[in-house]
Amino acid sequence: MRGEKRRRFFNRSTPLVAILLIVLFSTPARTQNSMHRRIGCNVESSYFLFDGDFFGIDNGIGANVSLRYEIGWNIYFENTIGGFAAKSADVDVSGMDYGLTLAMILPYLIPYRPIVRAGVGFISVNPKTVNQIGTYRPTQTTFHFITGAGISKSLRENIELELTANAWIAPYLYRIYTFDRSSVKTEDAQFTHLNVTLGLSFLF
């Protein structure tokens, strides 16, 4: 049942990702003489609402840093890396995430500015067990699409406060492996995570 709901959510979200990518790529660029491309750096704290089938873990917290480069009219290429930690009843999880995204920061509602984002990413988790001779799971890396939206507020000329919410949507089923002393168990699952971030953006 939950797997079917995730597949329906993914089927609904795929057109949204495609539309965002088309909008980002089709926006007319300014002429070379009038364009002043900006470079930025983001430092953010993150709150993760992980899919219930993702190692059975609860919500987690983390931090990330990203570099931005303006490639067109308020369109930025983002390169993001971060880390996180989460807990559940029987497993502690730490991991890293990495993303390549395009973000459009719209020049409306000044000093607030809407943000839309689309891209791809990877998440690598490292489950740990309390009992070293009991059941454990190996480190696994999964691929996902990223789509999100948020808002920024100018604090100073080159400093902005940003709040965003991003959906991480796995495009297909993954096989989860669980090992114990005598057997190997597997199950298939498709993941959809929600990531909420709050951070500072510095433009140069």
Domains detected in the chain = 2-26+38-203 (2.40.160.20)
pLDDT digits (tens, 9 = 90+) for 59-84: 899 999 999 999 988 899 999 999 99
- How many angstroms separate the Cα of 162 from the Cα of each of 38, 46, 140, 159? 17, 12, 30, 10
Highest mean pLDDT: which range of 122-126, 160-164, 172-176: 160-164
Residues 19-63 have pLDDT tens digits of: 555 554 454 444 444 446 789 999 999 999 988 877 777 889 999
Tens digit of each residue's pLDDT (9 = 90 or more) over 151-173: 999 998 889 999 999 999 999 88
Tell me the H-state helices in the chain. 2-26
pTM for this prediction = 0.75
DSSP 55: T
3-class secondary-structure state, position 4: helix
